[in-house]
Amino acid sequence: MTSELIVITSAPDADQWLPGVRVIPDAWRKQASLVGIHTALNYARQPILLIAWDMPFVSRPLLELIAERSARSPHATIPESAHDHLEPFCALYTPECLPVIEAQLAADDVRLSTLLERLPSFERIPVSDVARVGDPARLFFNVNTAEDLAAAEQIAAKG
C-alpha cells in the first residue's frame, strides 16, 4: 500500500518513537498539522496517506478505502465520521495541494479548515461507506488526554 512510512515532526526525541522509521523535520517555521502535510508532500513528491499520531485504531481496510477513492479527486480524499464531520487527519493529499498550502502558510494561516475551503475539489467519503470497513467512532478515536488513553486501552482490550 505504501512504499515508505515516515514521521513528520520537529520533536527532538522522535527518532526513538518508532525504531527504524525515518523522521523528517517540519520544513516551516510554525508547528501545525498543515506544516506537517506541506513537509510530507514536499518530501514525497507524490500523494501521501496521512494518519495523525493520536489515532490508534485506523485500520488497513480504512486506508485501502481512502486509497481506492483517491482517483476521484486530484487534490485530496477525506473520510467522514458521524454528523458529517470530516477527518482531515486521516486522509490522502496530493502534491496538487501544495500551491494552496503554500499560499496559506505565507499568509500565516495554518488551519486545516481553511485548506478544505480553498481546495478546488476533494473527494468526501460518506460515513456510511466508512462504516462498511469499521465503526467510525473506533476508527477515528483520538487520544489527547490521559483519560482518552485509558479509554483507548479499554477499547483495545475488548478487541
Is the CB of residue 54 less than 8 Å from the CB of residue 100? no
Judge whether 111 lies within some domain.
Answer: yes
Average pLDDT along the chain:
91
The pLDDT assigned to 2 comes to 58
In sequence order, which residues have a C-beta less than 8 Å from that of residue 93 and are 6 or more positions away?
37, 40, 41, 47, 48, 50, 75, 76
In a domain, 133, yes or no: yes
Q: Residue 58: what pLDDT?
A: 95
CATH of the domain at 87: 3.90.550.10
Give the relative orientation of helices 98-106 and 33-44 as an angle to the nearest 10 degrees.
140
Identity at 156, one-letter amino acid code: A
User: Does residue 1 belong to any structural domain of this protein?
Assistant: no
Angle at CA of residue 92, ends 27 and 124, nearest 5°? 135
Each residue of 88-113: pLDDT tens digit?
Answer: 999 999 999 999 999 999 999 999 99
- Match 488513553 to its residue by C-alpha cell: 149
Tens of pLDDT along 55-86? 999 999 999 999 999 998 999 999 999 878 99
Alpha carbon 48 to its chain centroid, in Å, reads 9
Q: Which domain holds residue 107?
A: 6-158
pLDDT in tens, 1-24: 557 888 888 888 888 888 888 888
- Is 136 among the domain residues? yes
What is the value of pTM for the model shown?
0.90
In a domain, 104, yes or no: yes
The domain total for the chain is 1
- Judge whether 60 lies within some domain: yes
End-to-end, the C-alpha distance of the chain in Å comes to 24
Given this model, what pLDDT does residue 67 score? 95
- Residue 53: which pLDDT band, with cuts at 50, 70 and 90? confident
Residue 105 lies in a domain: yes
Do residues 138 and 57 lie in contact, with contact meaning Cβ atoms separated by under 8 Å? yes
Those residues with Cβ within 8 angstroms of residue 88's Cβ, 6 or more apart along the chain or in another chain: 33, 78, 112, 115, 116
Do the domain assignments include residue 134? yes
3-state secondary structure labels for all residues of 6-34: EEECCCCCHHHCCCCCEEECCCCCCCCHH
Non-local CB neighbours of 149 within 8 Å, separated by 6+ positions: 143
